[in-house]
Amino acid sequence: MDAVARAVRTYLDHLAVEKGLAANTLTSYRRDLRRYQAYLADRGVETLDAVDEATVTAFLVRLREGDADHPQLGASSAARTVVAVRGFHRFALADGLSAHDPAAAVRPPTPAKRLPKALPLADVEAILDAAGAPGTSLALRDRALLEVLYGTGARISEAVGLDVDDLDPVDHTVLLRGKGGKERVVPVGSFAREAVEAYLVRGRPELATARSSAGALFLNARGGRLSRQSAWAVLTRAADRAGVTRDVSPHTLRHSFATHLLDGGADVRVVQELLGHASVTTTQVYTLVTVDSLREVFAAAHPRARDDGLAPHA
């Protein structure tokens, strides 16, 4: 057994005995490090001191590209393997098995950001209509809640945390309290205003009790403040009644709010302010969605964009 193999075995023993890692986790580490060990052997590397940063980086490239014996790995799987290698070299240095750590500066690949899944406007409207269908006090509340979520881009925690006094009926705005206690004032459109007014006049008084949460806008059937879990259930039930089969969550309405604004021509920095994002970089992921929409329109409408190469005749 060469020095690299002995160091790998020592590290795995350390993880099992001193760190107490679960069996499945240990299996993953063992598999990843054996692949790394085989890679070093193929390159003629027999000692850890012979490994440099370029060696580890080349291993990462091999993971992403694959080889005759292994398929290429996605960013998440490659990142897991690189984390195992980094931990191994860090341990080897600390335990005196190596004089340096060649993996310290090698960063795992970042998985691609998942694009937000926005609903088509027709699906959003169907869900909103389904929420208020029965016409009861709870239905009025449900319609108002979902109109606020989609109409303001509020997070679910921001919506259920609203008090009646947070609404400004003169300026048609609402005060939202976001992450880290940050506050922002956003406009409330006519549909959301009408739904909230109907709820305040005909729905909330029937739900309110002497024990109601002081000033809470959205109340549950017992008169207390509506919880995040109950608000989630409101949306799920409305989506089921509307026949919307896609996975729908409160954040889906927030995604749809942002995407529909950008599709309509809103500036990304305006959307950033409305969503309460600290950085415009966070908001820019939505622009990728609108670029896809633009690409579809372009491909369908431009005479030189058709895949079949046949331009429509005038």
- Give the sheet arrangement for strand 167-168, strand by strand: 167-168, 173-177, 183-187
Which amino acid type is present at position 314?
Answer: A
Residue with tokens 């017992």: 222
CA distances (Å), origin 290, targets 154, 193, 258, 285: 20, 28, 10, 9
Which amino acid type is present at position 155?
Answer: R
Rounded to an integer, what distance in angstroms lies between the CA atom of residue 274 and that of residue 24? 44
Which backbone phi and psi does 39 adopt, to 5 degrees?
-65, -45
Cα torsion 5, 6, 8, 12 to 10°: value is 140
In DSSP notation, 109-140 reads PPPPPPPP-PPPHHHHHHHHHHHTTT-SHHHH
Which amino acid type is present at position 286?
Answer: Y
Rounded to an integer, what distance in angstroms lies between the CA atom of residue 143 and that of residue 145? 5
β-strands 167-168, 183-187 pairing: unpaired
Q: What is the CA radius of gyration of the chain?
A: 28
Question: Annotated active-site positions, please?
Answer: 155, 179, 251, 254, 277, 286
In DSSP notation, 255-283 reads HHHHHHHHHTT--HHHHHHHHT-SSHHHH
